């Protein structure tokens, strides 16, 4: 069995003590950090979610897998951050919207943006519209990112955008959205410039959107 197959099973089974070593083995074998995320870690968490939906996994198992996944992403983080010589100076304010505590994907997007040279201000999970307004006012970011993992919380994205518009903080900024239930169609409806299905795409499309502004 390869390190990646072992890693998939270790995430599924929540075998936290094995995860960092398996990630390192995959890196040593030359697997790209983004490939480890998109081809192994994310599908493993997808299966965890499916098992949970079918009632075959319960909350403690979901939490154990999430905790194993956190160890994997923390092990990968130095390989995502500092991968570029670019020092763009532009700030990105990013968070998971109000009512939502899922942060694994958001943290990966934040680390990948940092790796691309952005100054990332991560406002965490369950970030209220007021918290976004405060952070955008304080940091004057070129980009504002909204992550949502629940169909019940994705509605907080347009609500937060409205709060930023009402505060006069929308103009001149690129807004980016993502997270499992969010689609390009949603982004279009909300008048958002960037939708991305994964962290690598987020960075690429944000770079393009900013280049068009210059």
Footprint of ligand B1M on this chain (CB under 6 A)? 37, 42, 45-46, 48-50, 52-53, 62-63, 66, 69, 94, 99-106, 108-109, 145-147, 149-152, 176-181, 196, 198-199, 202
- If the CB atoms of residues 6 and 112 are measured against ligand B1M, the closer one turns out to be 112
CB of 130 to ligand B1M, least distance (A): 18
- If the CB atoms of residues 3 and 146 are measured against ligand B1M, the closer one turns out to be 146
- If the CB atoms of residues 54 and 85 are measured against ligand B1M, the closer one turns out to be 54
CB of 1 to ligand B1M, least distance (A): 22
Question: What DSSP string runs through 128-155?
Answer: -HHHHHHHHHHH--SEEEEE--STTTTT
Q: Provide the sign of the torsion angle of the four alpha carbons 47, 49, 52, 58, taken in this order.
A: positive
From residue 177, give the alpha-carbon distance in Å to each of 80, 82, 145, 192. 20, 23, 6, 7
CB of 24 to ligand B1M, least distance (A): 19
CB of 113 to ligand B1M, least distance (A): 9
Contacts of 5 (CB under 8 A, 6+ apart): none
Q: Provide the sign of the torsion angle of the four alpha carbons 172, 138, 188, 117, taken in this order.
A: positive
């Amino acid at each position: 069995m390869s390190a990646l197959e072992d890693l998939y099973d270790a995430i599924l089974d929540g075998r936290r003590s094995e995860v960092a070593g398996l990630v390192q083995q995959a890196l040593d074998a030359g697997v790209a950090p983004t490939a480890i995320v998109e081809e192994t870690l994310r599908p493993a968490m997808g299966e965890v979610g499916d098992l949970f939906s079918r009632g075959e996994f319960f909350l403690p198992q979901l939490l154990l897998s999430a905790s194993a996944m956190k160890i994997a992403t923390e092990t990968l983080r130095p390989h995502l951050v500092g991968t570029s010589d670019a020092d763009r100076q532009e700030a990105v304010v990013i968070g998971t919207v109000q009512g939502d505590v899922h942060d694994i994907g958001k943290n990966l997007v934040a680390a990948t943006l940092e790796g691309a040279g952005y100054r990332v201000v991560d406002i965490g999970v369950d970030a209220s519209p007021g918290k976004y307004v405060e952070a955008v006012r304080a940091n004057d970011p070129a980009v504002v990112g909204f992550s949502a993992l629940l169909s019940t919380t994705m509605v907080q994205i347009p609500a937060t955008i409205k709060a930023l518009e009402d505060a006069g903080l929308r103009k001149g900024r690129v807004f980016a959205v993502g997270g499992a239930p969010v689609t390009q169609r949603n982004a279009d409806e909300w008048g958002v410039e960037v939708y991305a299905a994964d962290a690598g795409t987020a960075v690429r499309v944000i770079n393009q959107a900013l280049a068009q502004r210059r």
